[in-house]
Structure 1
């Protein structure tokens, strides 16, 4: 059975609205979006969350088809909330709404499992199309992110994976930022990770690469084409 369908008592398939949870710490945007969506016959707003922690709890309670997720929220940000929701409900479609985050932040959201993003201020019909596309398993993202995804799939990225096959995807992500000269604190902020998580990743990278210090890691990573950021 596909999202948006249900079985009647007579055994017929009938259309069912896409169940949506809106997570945003700004009540004007959160309630305004709900007001725009609620009259639409193909969409049902089942819950509204004011922060990431509430979004995780309400997602577990209401089992939505799609979560419209803000990134910058108190207590638990949208990226971490996305990870937590998808760990429990991998079929949920997360659509990130942003005021215009940088590409690295948006890529972090996609790596966390988000299936798309829209800029706040998008037209109502564009929002509806994005929600229904994500609910159907599609991916929605802007041109700038598409270009960055293309970079991730470039031959240089393939080389990085070949050069460091012992590293996990997250460790290669951290290594790329180390090579770019970022401190642990900057890496934590950019990837929306806890400082302890970054320290653990750095320790794992040093151990797996059998490197004596951070400087050696930077040299090896840059030789592999990593750290080439603005």
Structure 2
């Protein structure tokens, strides 16, 4: 019995139940997936890793090279760090457990669609290790942050609450929390307090504070 096909059919049924999304194609191999991508130009791809994991990572890499606009969500039974790291290197935007519930899957898809990425606590650690390994000796993790992420980081360090930050930047509180998840992953911090302390100790924050006074 082809269990991977059964899993794919199960996920298709779940995805079709979400009003915000429609399933345009289902593919069971890399060549078919690439053909369907070129035909339908979807915004999101939900995929597994397959047996052993390496084949799925290769497929994710091929999808990223072929369709740079698409956002890739990997749903896998294995939560081993090596597979997570390889998936993110290949271009995945999210890495989820196959045990995820339907509502959490829907929320993750919405976050990836709107924000570009979604990180679980386990995946965040792998992203941190990945980006830390890619830094030069004197590079600061702050250099990894986007302009908006830096804005939010400094507002957090200034003891601003989430709803105040959202109002000041004209975005939703949930969007602020999504940005914070990515900031935690990039800086290697675990919570809001550690993140604020990290920023307060950084020379860039001190320079900004002096400029404001």
Give the RMSD, CA atoms, in angstroms. 2.7
Q: Is 1:82–1:114's contact at 8 Å kept on the other side of the alignment?
A: yes
1:28 aligned to 2:18?
no
TM-score (norm 1): 0.53
> Which ranges of 4 or more aligned residues in structure 1 deviate by more than 6 Å?
none
Give the 3 Å change call, closer, same or farther, for CA 80–111 of structure 1 in structure 2.
Answer: same
1:150 aligned to 2:128?
yes
Give the 3 Å change call, closer, same or farther, for CA 69–30 of structure 1 in structure 2.
Answer: same
TM-fit CA distance, 1:157:
5.0
Paired residue for 2:152? none
Query: For 1:50-129, what aligned pairs fall within 5 Å after superposition?
Result: 50-72=28-50, 77-129=55-107
Give the 3 Å change call, closer, same or farther, for CA 29–138 of structure 1 in structure 2.
Answer: same
Give unmatched runs, 5+ long, in structure 2: 140-213
Q: Which has the higher helix share?
A: 2
TM-fit CA distance, 1:150:
2.2
Q: Is 1:25–1:73's contact at 8 Å kept on the other side of the alignment?
A: no
Report the number of matched residues. 137
Paired residue for 1:220? none
Give the 3 Å change call, closer, same or farther, for CA 156–34 of structure 1 in structure 2.
Answer: closer
Give the 3 Å change call, closer, same or farther, for CA 31–120 of structure 1 in structure 2.
Answer: same
Give unmatched runs, 5+ long, in structure 1: 1-23, 162-230
Tell me the alpha carbon deviations over residues 118-151 of structure 1, each in whole angstroms, 9 at most, x when there is no partner: 1002110111111121122431222222123223
Give the 3 Å change call, closer, same or farther, for CA 93–154 of structure 1 in structure 2.
Answer: closer
Q: Which has the higher strand share?
A: 1
Paired residue for 2:15? 37
Give the 3 Å change call, closer, same or farther, for CA 105–57 of structure 1 in structure 2.
Answer: same
User: Who wins on radius of gyration, i.e. which is larger?
Assistant: 1
TM-fit CA distance, 1:73:
5.5
TM-score (norm 2): 0.57
